[in-house]
């Protein structure tokens, strides 16, 4: 059953990613190119970048769009800043590595004496040059300076003392092993999937309900640890609508691998529509299987942990008010299909080791009704 | 070891014993002073730097005289002082970082 | 063991003779090195198998070969094993132990029995770490063990208990080995072996020993807090009490980053030996190499928070740690260019050790360059905790350090066993290792760039990680094949490999001057050193125009020609057992803990008087070249290390000061009059201690004992005062776990009290000894001085604690 659910889930994902993933390299280059230096820089970046993209493509033998969590496809201001520093460092690193490898290559071709190794002659001459030693001390120091200055500028720019005006604040609470998103002042609470409008700074205030996690959206440019008892913050302005994978990056226990989330960057209109739907209560389930399912929900243990606006008020597990409107569930690792949800309710532990939701013992018709109810919560 | 050397060393050690007793007096005085300082209300704003200086002086006296760094080979200072410097910087940097963290930088 | 080469007098080899018992009681540094070597090899295979199982699991998406639980155990134990039980003991226990005394012209390390003790503690610690496998309860929170996941609320099982206690135990062994070997390098050098004539291997090792002394105390303190949280109900890392789990990260990385260099410095040293030997040229830029080694060691202590850029320390702290981290690249660059310059223009003999050295230079450079990437906080935000970092540190620790260690193994194997490893198999092993290593770890850069986080037991097929992961798995199996070739090589050449002779590589260091394998006493006469690469100049003379320097005058206590090696001892093994029992007893077996403590005390005292019973002093207690006493050098090293221990405790007290969520505080509960009194008494005990010491120096037993008794009395009064104080607080309702103040106060003041108590025991044993023949011995006042140094140190710690805790009690926050 579980494997069936997982299989169907996989298929669904693949489709969703083929549709929603832009080419990682499409907008990687800085649009600025004012001077010769910048031209040269951008040329170097282009070359380096081509190599970096070519490598996984060669190795994996497939399309770059197949890397939905790539760190080389920034779609936010933060992402572009980070990538600027990243590529610059890669260029310097490659030059240094080429120098070292070149020297060693020359060394091996010129001085290798394997053939006459057993006839020791007089020791070869040797001498030292203080100029050389100064050069290889000062050279790297200079390169480090070139690397450090732009990088430190970004450090300060990405962590401003005052948050940008008009930013959308989202409170993130990390749980073992799912993400809770609250929109303060808007009365919206969702899990594992968060929607933000394009072009507006999104300010994620991060807190943890249990252990340390880390909030990472590779496409948005970086991660920030989520520490219990402390509010951390990550701010970025997305620039391209789309669906982006988020991951927990800090080991947080048994199902650390199963703690993903998704960011939906939407056009202002789409976002407004989504918000309007979320701020309203759940659709009334007044007929058919869904109505029976609501009864199952109310009479089972579900209500102790899960909230549905106007129906129940549990707070331990994810808020289910608009469960049917989400594309994935359970730490965003399963596609939200009736079959997957049914499999989950039957045995959460089998689908996600350590899951804190207990098996409820619901079978057959009751289970189908409950699933129908949950899926009706659009 | 010749008799003269012996006497010279003995003399050196007599003066050391004298130094030990003087240091003991200073230590007792400094401790009393520290305690007094900690009770004076007017000195509260400068209490921390004042106590750092006073206990630093006590610390240095014990290390230099009772632990013989003043008399002994530089090698022992060479082992201890870097460790002490690191220990002091660990306290300062760690406390600084954590206080900023609690304050939300 | 190894079949001995016939041309060596069989009785002379250190490997000759004795059954199991002689290995259990051995205190010969070379035999202990072999013990370390065998243990390290075993754990290398264990850690390697753990890695292979993980790679099988990740070979394809959604694999079910390992469960999540088992996978978490695997990566935790793979990291813990490779770092604490393989790479570090390979450098510290195996190479340093075997080679350092030979290269500095010594007959053994400074404290041979302490050396054995370090090994046995390390072994027992390793067993405690791994014993959980038998119950399917191996540690499972990562080698970095981030609190608060390691708190019993989130990890209730035996797993983390074993991890905490195992690391505590093996850490004690590492610090003891560091003290021992640092003392050896400082004080046991042959006449004329100045610091600027030391082989660079010894330089690197010396810096590493210092790092061990200063890096382990913060880890020990962090582990003590964790153990107290788990066993005694404190909350050093628990948010509910106002504490923060971030404290663990700081304490851990204060240890963790120097630890990287603790592992890398031996590699630097080995490469600095191999490249000159196989190029037949002296090391290029020796002074710059020596100073850059020291600089790397120093800088490595100031960069720990670059592991924590994602934590959100603020832009100023991020920038500061980014800059210090980047600075390390400069001395490291000096090293890399100097190695290349050493080989440049030389007669390169392409033997296996040199091939490993060249691969090291390239791969370590790659690891260093990716290190420069995540020294940039913005880039680090994309790379940290992803597979990019996994690739990075494997390039540093495997492609770098482990390659150097393998090169060093081929290089010194003939010295250790007397036989050469097979060169053809060696080359095959090298090339399979290079291919396997790069195939495994280079693609991991790409996985990281494609967004694959670390420590995930499964991944989904649509992420684009499938084929690259499969490639890594294939590479891992090629590496496994390479390790198998190494084992075959060892087995094949052990009995009938080519005899090495004393100097198979045309070497430069003193170790090539003596037979292979060396006799138990190493050098029949202690060599006199007049220049760097002394043995090379012995063979080839000095270049024209160079006037060989006159030998430096040795200390008067010169080598008498009479070789006296200390007798074997069983106490190190028993003492290690006692310490292990005392620590493991914390798992709720009070009797075991008490028996362990009793055994520890008994063995410690028995060891202190062992040589006296045998009727002789350790003949090399005083350095031939320096004239300093080993024991004093050792005690000072110990005190330097202890400074960091108390610094970590004090820092924790200050960090948590004023953050209690209720309960007593320093201002409300501390009673000053009593403490002022006991503080005076403890200060005065330092005065009585120096006076007692004067008595012992003069041979005046009555005078000495009088002041010694007074010191013991003062110490006991101080302790009684502390017991009374603790009891009062306890009856007032402040127990250990009441709040942040209670736990930091009891821990810091309590550990200081424990030090005073140990001091009293040491002084009592001196009183006892004063009534025996020991009093007539030449160096008795040194023993008293060592006890006194410890006593004064405990006193100066109290000077600091008294100010910070008691006198600053009304200061609200740090």
Minimal C-alpha gap between B74 and chain A (Å): 31
Cβ distance of A231 and B101 shorter than 8 Å: no
SS3 A234: strand
Q: How far apart are CA C146 and CA A211, in angstroms?
A: 9
Picking from A123, A158, A193, the residue at the C-terminal end of a domain is A158
Does pLDDT of C68 surpass 60? yes
Residues of C in contact with B52 (CB under 8 A): 803
Residue C184 in this model has a pLDDT that exceeds 60 = yes
Alpha-carbon gap: C216 to the closest alpha carbon of chain A (Å): 24
A308 and A254 in a common domain: no
pLDDT higher at B79 or A8: B79
Q: Which long-range contacts (CB under 8 A, 24 or more apart) does A92-99 make?
A: A92/A143, A92/A146, A92/A147, A92/C372, A93/C369, A93/C370, A93/C372, A93/C373, A94/A48, A96/A140, A96/A143, A96/C365, A96/C369, A97/C365, A97/C366, A97/C369
Cα of B102 to nearest chain A Cα, Å? 8
- Among C61, C355, C464, C540, most A C-beta atoms within 10 A, so best to mutate, is C464
Note the pLDDT tens digit of each residue in A207-247: 999 999 999 999 998 899 999 999 999 999 999 999 999 99
Give chain A positions within 8 Å (CB) of C378.
Answer: 81-82, 85-86, 151, 154-155, 158, 222
Cα of C585 to nearest chain A Cα, Å: 27
Q: How confident is the model at residue A4 (pLDDT cuts 50, 70, 90)?
A: very low
Name chain A contacts of C62, Cβ cutoff 8 Å. Answer: 6, 10
Cβ of A67 within 8 Å of Cβ of C319? The answer is no
At residue B56, does pLDDT exceed 70? yes
- Residues A61 and A181 occupy one common structural domain: no
* CATH code for position A189: 2.60.40.420
What the block records as the tokens of B102 is 């609690």
Please tell me the distance from the alpha carbon of residue C13 to that of residue C522, in angstroms, as a whole number. Answer: 9
Neighbours of C, requiring at least 3 CB pairs below 8 Å, are A, B
CA distance B42 to C756: 35
Instruction: Please report whether residue A87 resides in a domain.
Output: yes
Say if the Cβ atoms of B83 and C641 lie within 8 Å: yes
**Banded model confidence at residue A164, pLDDT cuts 50, 70, 90:** confident
Q: Which of C181, C687, C791, C809 to mutate to test the interface with B (most CBs of B within 10 A)?
A: C687
Number of structural domains found in chain A = 3
Of A104, A158, A353, the CB nearest to C340: A104
Query: Which residues, at least 6 apart from A88, have a Cβ–Cβ distance to it below 8 Å?
Result: A41, A45, A147, A150
- Asked if the structure places residue A58 within a domain, the reply is yes
Please state, as a whole number, how many other Cβ atoms lie within 10 Å of the Cβ of residue C357.
28
Beta-carbon contacts of C423 under 8 Å, excluding residues fewer than 6 positions away, are C351, C352
Closest CA to C786 of C813, C808, C809, C765: C765
d(CA C274, CA C280): 10
CB contact under 8 A, A248 and C453: yes
- Find residues 32-61 of chain A whose CB sits inside 8 Å of chain C: 52, 55-56, 59-61
Which chain B residue lies closest to C651 (C-alpha atoms)?
B91
Chain C nearest C-alpha distance from B25 (Å):
10
Restricting to A residues 251-270, those with a Cβ less than 8 Å away from any Cβ of C are: 251-258
Average pLDDT, chain B: 86
Domain that holds residue A27: 22-108+134-158
Q: Is C370 in the A-facing interface, judged by CB distances under 8 Å?
A: yes
Q: Which residue of C77, C335, C379 is the best one to mutate when testing the A interface, meaning the one whose CB has the most A CBs within 10 A?
A: C379
Domains and CATH numbers, chain C: 10-513 (1.20.210.10), 657-814 (1.20.120.80)
Eight-state DSSP code of residue C521: T
Statement to judge: residues A26 and A55 lie in one domain: yes
In this structure, are A188 and A253 located in the same domain?
yes
User: Residue A59's pLDDT is what?
Assistant: 47
CA-nearest residue to A229 within chain B is B102
Of all residues in chain B, the one with the smallest CA distance to A233 is B104
For residue C68, give the nearest of A214, A222, A353 by CB distance.
A353
How many angstroms separate the most distant Cα atoms in chain C? Answer: 84
- Find, in chain C, the residue whose alpha carbon is nearest to that of B58: C799
B39 touches chain A (CB under 8 A): no
Give C340's contacts in chain A (Cβ within 8 Å).
100, 103-104, 107
Q: Tell me the C-alpha to C-alpha distance, in Å, between residue B83 and each of A113, A332, B77, B78, C294.
A: 47, 50, 10, 9, 14
* Confidence check: pLDDT of B4 > 50: no
Q: Which residues does chain C have within 8 Å of residue A162's beta carbon, measured at their own beta carbons?
A: none
Using alpha carbons, select from C801, C790, C741, C743 the residue that is nearest to residue C762. C790
The model's pLDDT over C623-658, given as tens digits with 9 standing for 90+, comes to 888 888 888 999 999 999 999 999 999 999 999 998
Give the pLDDT score at A120: 64
Q: Closest by alpha carbon to A163, among A196, A222, A225, A205?
A: A205
User: Is B104's Cβ below 8 Å from some Cβ in A?
Assistant: yes
Give me chain A's average pLDDT, please. 83
Residue A117 has pLDDT above 70, yes or no: no
ipTM > 0.90 for the complex: yes
- Give the number of A-C residue pairs with CB atoms closer than 8 Å: 291
Q: How confident is the model at residue A165 (pLDDT cuts 50, 70, 90)?
A: confident
Residue-averaged pLDDT of chain C: 91
**A252 with A293, same domain?**
no
Partners of B101 on chain A (C-beta within 8 Å) are: 230
Q: How confident is the model at residue C205 (pLDDT cuts 50, 70, 90)?
A: very high
Nearest Cα neighbor of C414 from C514, C264, C275, C268 is C514
Minimal C-alpha gap between B95 and chain A (Å): 17
From chain B, pick out residues whose CB is under 8 angstroms from the CB of C697: 13
Q: How far is residue C466 CA from its own chain's centroid?
A: 39
Which residue would you say has higher pLDDT here, B63 or C612?
A: B63
| Percent of chain C surpassing pLDDT 70 | 95
Is A70 an 8 Å CB contact of chain C? yes
Helix axes C630-656, C780-801, angle to 10 degrees: 10
pLDDT score of A16: 35
CA distance C644 to chain B (A): 5
What single DSSP character describes residue C499? B
Record: contact C800-B55, CB cut-off 8 A: yes
Chains contacting A (3+ CB pairs below 8 angstroms): B, C
Mean pLDDT over B95-99 rounds to: 91
CB–CB contact B101 A230 (8 Å) = yes
Size of interface B-C (CB pairs under 8 A): 160
Query: Confidence band (pLDDT; 50, 70, 90) for A315?
Result: confident
Residues of chain B contacting residue A230, judged by C-beta atoms under 8 Å apart: 101, 104
Q: Tell which residue, C73, C78, C70, has the closest CA to residue C44.
A: C78
**How far is residue A217's CA from residue C604's CA, in Å, rounded to a whole number?**
56
Do A301 and A369 reside in the same domain of the chain?
A: yes
The least confident of A9-18, C389-398, C725-734 is A9-18
pLDDT of res. C553: 60
CB contact under 8 A, B83 and C691: no
- Residues from chain B that touch C806, judged by Cβ atoms under 8 A, are 38
Is residue A1 in a domain?
Answer: no
pLDDT tens digits, A59-109: 444 455 678 899 988 999 999 999 999 999 999 999 999 999 999 999 998
> Would you state the pLDDT for residue C810?
84
The Cα of A174 is separated from the nearest Cα of chain B by a number of Å equal to 19
Nearest to C62 among A6, A108, A117 (CB): A6
In chain B, what residues touch C792 (CB-CB under 8 Å)? Answer: 62-63, 66-67
Q: What is the pLDDT of residue B11?
A: 61
Task: Locate the domains of chain B by residue range.
Answer: 1-72, 73-105
In this structure, of A155-169, A283-297, B74-88, C324-338, the range with the lowest mean pLDDT score is: A283-297
The residue behind tokens 């002789």 is C616
Residue with more model confidence, C558 or C334 = C334
d(CA C101, CA C108): 6
pLDDT tens digit sequence for A327-356? 999 999 999 999 999 999 999 999 999 999
- Report whether pLDDT(A21) > 50: no
Strand-pair partners of A266:
A197
What pLDDT score does A32 carry? 37
Contacts of C351 in chain A (CB under 8 A): 117
Name which of B52, B68, B79 is nearest C640 (Cβ-Cβ): B79
Average pLDDT score over residue span A294-309: 91
Mean pLDDT over C393-412 rounds to 96
Our CA-based measurement puts residue C535 at a distance from the nearest CA of chain A, in whole angstroms, of: 14
Residue of C nearest to B100 (CA): C313
What is the per-residue pLDDT across A177-216, written as a single tens digit (0 to 9) for each? 999 999 998 989 999 999 999 999 999 999 999 999 999 9
CA distance C145 to B87: 24
Q: Is A283 on the interface with B (CB under 8 A)?
A: no
Higher pLDDT, C618 or C760: C760
Give the model's pLDDT for residue C11.
55
Q: Are residues A240 and A311 in the same domain?
A: no
Within this chain, do residues A220 and A252 fall inside the same structural domain, yes or no?
yes
Query: What's the gap in Å between the CA of C392 and the closest CA on chain B?
Result: 27
């Amino acid at each position: 059953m579980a494997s069936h659910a997982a299989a169907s889930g996989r298929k669904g994902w693949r489709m969703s990613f083929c549709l929603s993933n832009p080419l990682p390299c499409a907008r990687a280059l800085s649009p600025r190119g004012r001077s010769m230096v910048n031209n040269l820089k951008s040329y170097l970046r282009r070359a380096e970048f081509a190599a970096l993209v070519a490598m996984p493509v060669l190795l994996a033998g497939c399309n770059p769009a197949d890397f939905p969590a790539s760190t080389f496809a920034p779609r936010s201001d933060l992402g572009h800043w980070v990538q600027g520093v990243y590529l610059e460092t890669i260029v310097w690193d490659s030059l240094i590595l080429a120098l070292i490898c070149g020297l060693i290559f020359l060394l091996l071709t010129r001085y290798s004496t394997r053939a006459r190794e057993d006839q020791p002659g007089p020791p070869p001459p040797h001498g030292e040059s203080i100029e050389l030693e100064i050069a290889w001390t000062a050279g790297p120091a200079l390169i480090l300076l070139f690397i450090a200055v732009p990088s430190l500028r970004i450090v300060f720019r990405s962590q401003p003392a005052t948050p940008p005006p008009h930013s959308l604040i989202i409170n993130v609470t990390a749980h073992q092993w799912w993400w809770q998103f609250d929109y303060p002042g808007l009365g919206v609470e969702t899990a594992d999937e968060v929607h933000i409008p394009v072009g507006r700074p999104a300010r994620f205030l991060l807190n943890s309900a249990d252990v340390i996690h880390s909030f990472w959206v590779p496409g948005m440019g970086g991660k920030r640890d989520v520490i219990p008892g402390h509010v951390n913050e990550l701010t970025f302005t997305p620039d391209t609508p789309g669906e982006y994978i988020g991951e927990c990056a800090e080991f947080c226990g048994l199902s650390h691998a199963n703690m993903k989330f998704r960011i939906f960057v939407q056009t202002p209109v789409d976002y407004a529509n989504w918000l309007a739907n979320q701020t309203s209560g759940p659709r009334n389930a007044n007929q058919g299987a869904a109505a029976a399912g609501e009864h199952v929900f109310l009479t089972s243990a579900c209500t102790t942990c899960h909230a549905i606006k106007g129906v129940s008020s549990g707070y331990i597990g994810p808020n289910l008010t608009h469960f049917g409107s989400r594309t994935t569930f359970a730490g965003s690792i399963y596609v939200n299909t009736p079959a997957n949800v049914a499999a989950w309710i039957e045995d959460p532990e089998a689908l996600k080791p350590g899951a804190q939701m207990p098996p409820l013992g619901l079978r057959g018709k009751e289970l189908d009704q409950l699933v129908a109810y949950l899926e009706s919560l659009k | 070891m010749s008799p003269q050397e012996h006497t010279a060393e003995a003399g050196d050690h007599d003066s050391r014993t004298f130094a030990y007793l003087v240091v003991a007096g200073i230590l007792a005085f400094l401790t009393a002073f520290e305690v007094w300082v900690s009770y004076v209300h007017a000195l509260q704003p400068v209490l921390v730097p004042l106590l750092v200086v006073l206990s630093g002086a006590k610390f240095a006296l014990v290390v230099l005289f009772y632990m013989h760094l003043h008399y002994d080979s530089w090698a022992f200072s060479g082992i201890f002082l870097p460790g002490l410097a690191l220990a002091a910087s660990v306290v300062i940097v760690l406390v600084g970082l954590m206080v900023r963290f609690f304050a939300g930088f | 063991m190894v079949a001995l080469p016939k041309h060596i007098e069989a009785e002379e080899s250190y490997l000759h003779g004795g059954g199991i018992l002689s290995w259990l009681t051995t205190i010969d540094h070379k035999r202990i090195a072999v013990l370390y070597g065998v243990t390290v090899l075993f754990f290398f295979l264990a850690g390697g198998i753990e890695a292979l199982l993980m790679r099988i699991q990740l070979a394809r998406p959604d694999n079910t070969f390992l469960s999540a639980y088992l996978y978490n155990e695997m990566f935790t134990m793979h990291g813990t094993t490779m770092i604490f039980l393989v790479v570090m003991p390979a450098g510290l226990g195996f190479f340093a132990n075997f080679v350092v005394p030979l290269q500095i012209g010594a007959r053994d390390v400074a404290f041979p029995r302490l050396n054995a003790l370090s090994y046995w503690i390390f072994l027992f610690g390793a067993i405690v770490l791994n014993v959980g496998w038998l119950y399917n309860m191996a540690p499972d929170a990562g080698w970095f063990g981030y609190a608060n996941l390691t708190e019993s609320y989130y990890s209730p099982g035996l797993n983390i208990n074993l991890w905490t206690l195992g690391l505590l135990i093996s850490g004690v062994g590492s610090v003891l080995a560091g003290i021992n070997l640092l003392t050896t390098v400082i004080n046991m050098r042959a006449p004329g072996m100045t610091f600027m004539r030391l082989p660079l291997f010894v330089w690197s090792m010396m810096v590493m020993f210092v790092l061990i002394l200063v890096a382990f105390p913060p880890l020990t303190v962090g582990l003590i807090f964790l153990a107290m949280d788990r066993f005694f109900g404190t909350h050093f890392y628990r948010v509910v009490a106002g504490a923060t789990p971030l404290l663990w990260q700081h304490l851990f990385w204060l240890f963790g980053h120097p630890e990287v260099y603790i592992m890398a410095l031996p590699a630097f040293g080995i490469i600095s030996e191999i490249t000159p030997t196989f190029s037949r040229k002296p090391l290029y830029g020796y002074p710059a190499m020596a100073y850059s080694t020291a600089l790397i060691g120093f800088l490595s202590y100031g960069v720990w928070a670059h592991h924590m850029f994602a934590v959100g320390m603020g832009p100023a702290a991020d920038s500061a740690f980014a800059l210090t981290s980047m600075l390390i690249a400069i001395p490291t660059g000096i090293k890399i260019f100097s190695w290349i310059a050493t080989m440049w223009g030389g007669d390169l003999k392409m033997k296996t050790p040199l091939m490993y050295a060249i691969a090291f230079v390239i791969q370590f450079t790659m690891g260093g360059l990716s290190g420069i990437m995540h020294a940039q906080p913005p880039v680090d935000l994309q790379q940290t905790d992803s597979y990019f970092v996994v690739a990075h540190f494997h390039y540093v620790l495997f492609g770098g350090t482990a390659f150097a260690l393998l090169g060093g193994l081929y290089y010194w194997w003939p010295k250790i066993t007397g036989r050469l490893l097979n060169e053809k198999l060696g080359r095959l092993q090298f090339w399979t290792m290079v291919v396997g290593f790069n195939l495994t770890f280079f693609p991991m850069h790409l996985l990281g760039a494609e967004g694959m986080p670390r420590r995930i037991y499964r991944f989904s097929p649509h992420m684009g990680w499938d084929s690259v992961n499969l490639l890594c798995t294939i590479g891992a199996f090629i590496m496994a094949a390479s390790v198998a070739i190494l084992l075959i090589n060892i087995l094949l050449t052990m009995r009938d490999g080519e005899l090495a002779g004393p100097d198979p590589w045309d070497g430069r260091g003193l170790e090539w001057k003596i037979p292979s394998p060396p006799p138990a006493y190493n050098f029949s006469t202690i060599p006199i050193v007049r220049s760097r690469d002394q043995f090379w100049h012995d063979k080839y003379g000095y270049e024209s125009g160079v006037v060989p320097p006159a030998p430096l005058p040795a200390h008067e206590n010169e080598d008498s020609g009479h070789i006296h090696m200390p007798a074997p001892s069983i106490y190190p093994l028993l003492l290690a057992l006692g310490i292990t029992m005392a620590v493991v007893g914390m798992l709720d077996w009070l009797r075991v803990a008490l028996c362990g403590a009793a055994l520890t005390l008994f063995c410690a005292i028995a060891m202190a008087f062992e040589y006296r019973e045998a009727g002789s002093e350790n003949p090399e207690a005083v350095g031939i070249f320096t004239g300093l006493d080993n024991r004093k050098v050792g005690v000072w090293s110990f005190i330097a290390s202890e400074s960091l221990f108390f610094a970590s405790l004090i820092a924790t007290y200050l960090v948590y000061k004023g953050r209690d969520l209720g309960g007593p505080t320093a201002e409300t509960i501390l009673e000053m009059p009593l403490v002022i009194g006991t503080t005076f008494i403890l200060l005065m005990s330092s005065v009585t201690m120096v006076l007692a010491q004067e008595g012992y120096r003069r041979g005046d037993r009555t005078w000495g004992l009088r002041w010694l008794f007074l010191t013991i009395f003062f110490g006991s009064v101080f302790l009684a005062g502390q017991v009374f104080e603790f009891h009062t607080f306890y009856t007032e309702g402040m127990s250990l776990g009441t709040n942040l103040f209670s736990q930091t106060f009891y821990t810091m003041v309590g550990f200081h009290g424990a030090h005073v108590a140990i001091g009293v025991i040491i002084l009592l044993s001196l009183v006892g000894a004063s009534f025996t023949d020991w009093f007539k011995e030449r160096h008795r006042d040194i023993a008293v001085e060592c006890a006194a140094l410890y006593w004064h140190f405990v006193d100066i710690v109290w000077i600091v604690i008294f100010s910070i805790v008691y006198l600053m009690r009304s200061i609200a926050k740090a």
